[in-house]
Structure 1
Amino acid sequence: MTTSSTHRLVLTLTAAAALATALSACVPLVVGGAAVGAGLMATDRRTSGAQLDDQAIELRGASRIREIANDQMYVSVTSFNRQMLLTGTVANEADRRRVEAAVQGIDNVRSIVNEVQVGEARSFQVRSNDTFITGKVKASLLDAKDVFATSFKVITENGVVYLMGLATRREVDRATDIARGVSGVQKVVRVVEVVSEAELAGQLRQGGTAAPAAAPAPSSSRVPLPPMEPLPASPSGGATATPIR
């Protein structure tokens, strides 16, 4: 091979590598266990910065918990709009406190909602059923025409459905009703940042998002979230909704 041919080959390989690097930037972003591409980022009420922060918060939180984990600690970390939700089970109250202490101080976290329960780890059957319930709730939210489904993140733990999101009070109540109607749901807990209809409309006009451009200070009036009045119990004795604790 001549020097000229070798030079052209090097240039071709360099260009191909550059193209591959550029294309890799289009790979969907994994946020909260779901693949999120540019299209969903555009419809998500969080800013793109908040979405990236949520991904980083989940990764750092999981890493810190792994450092203190024992054989009876099964904890999941979920973040939405820089608010962290801890779910799962631990062996005792001391471990529950250790989990929360471990994730304290992670960058950009506005608040932590600790819903970790003390008790036995969930069986494979229970965890599979929780995954099934999550899928059904998400599908039901997507089917509803009066709810912006991507405003909510759905997590299920032992039949308890957690709704995380950024929505109006009407949307929260409607999403709660939808989740309550899904078979297998034992209770619905709302971990939602409530915005007014006017604020939502204004934010949507400005840029299609109802999330603040930057993380609010920890002293923001929205953190911790205002308690929500519980919905009345189902007449059939089924699922009920609870305020955020």
Structure 2
Amino acid sequence: MRNVLVLPCLLATLALPGCAAAVIGTAGAVGLTSVQEKTMGEALDDATASNEIKAKLLNESGARFAEVDVEVANGLVLLSGRVNEPEDRTFAEGIAWSSSRTVDVANEVRIEPPGGFMSNVSDEIITGRVRARLIGSSKVKSVNFNIETYGGVVYLMGIARDTEELRAAAEEASVVGGVAQVVSYVRIRDASGRPAAPITTEAPPPPTYQPAPDASYTTEPLSELHGANYEPGSR
């Protein structure tokens, strides 16, 4: 949800989860539930929480939090972007926890000077390319995944149907040009139809698999706090 970037969102319309929330809002989230793994109620809660948290940050200070992005998937709030001071990073996380719909917070905000327009455009282009690869993949139901990119790091969120879909999505993202790293906060829906909690470091590792020849990434289990990291391939 990059509210400070309108033009890149229009140019990269494939990056719906990263951009369109600022345009289509809650109604758009509801419209996607017919094909997403999440329910209408989950989509409404996520859209409401995202809008609420972003609005609180901008109301507090548009200058301090203009480059903080908020993405919510099944109650997990991902904060990414940049702030100038460590206390601003901590404050942003506190605002994220203030929403009654927040289940967990992943604070990926960096402390660094503003990146400027072109840096943000580059990230939006990467998001669009990753979205295009997910749409074109026969192994991935692309609408299940939210994509956020910051500084070349791609964050994946959402609900996967199974471990193989999760891994396939990470692999597709890892081979996109300009991607420095892929971090997955994707959850897997359990047999009851509810989104299961992310696999923690105490859980058994996921099944092994054979990666594509040009993709290189780790097989670390998902972590509730730090996500699963995938090293990009070269193409």
Measured after TM superposition, the shift of residue 156 of structure 1 is 0.6
Q: Structure 1 residue 226 and structure 2 residue 200: aligned?
A: yes
- Percent of paired sites with the same residue: 27
Please report the TM-score for the alignment, with normalisation by the length of structure 2.
0.72
Measured after TM superposition, the shift of residue 66 of structure 1 is 1.4
Measured after TM superposition, the shift of residue 165 of structure 1 is 1.0
Q: Is the 8 A contact 1:233 1:239 kept in 2?
A: yes
Q: Structure 1 residue 71 and structure 2 residue 45: aligned?
A: no
Letter of the 1:62 counterpart: K
From 41, 44, 47, the equivalent of 1:55 is: 47
From 36, 53, 59, the equivalent of 1:44 is: 36
Aligned positions of 1:1-245 closer than 5 A: 32-33=21-22, 35=24, 36=28, 40-69=32-61, 71-73=63-65, 74-167=67-160, 168-196=162-190, 199=191, 203=193, 211=194, 222=197, 226-227=200-201, 240=217, 244=223, 245=226
Give the distance between the partners of 1:90 and 1:240, measured in 2 at CA: 29
Measured after TM superposition, the shift of residue 85 of structure 1 is 0.6
Number of residue pairs aligned between Structure 1 and Structure 2: 195
Aligned-pair Cα RMSD in Å = 3.1
C-alpha deviations, 1:138-163, integer Å up to 9, x for none? Answer: 01000001111111111111111000
Unaligned runs of 5+ in 2: 1-18, 227-235
SS in 2 for 1:40: helix
Please report the TM-score for the alignment, with normalisation by the length of structure 1.
0.69
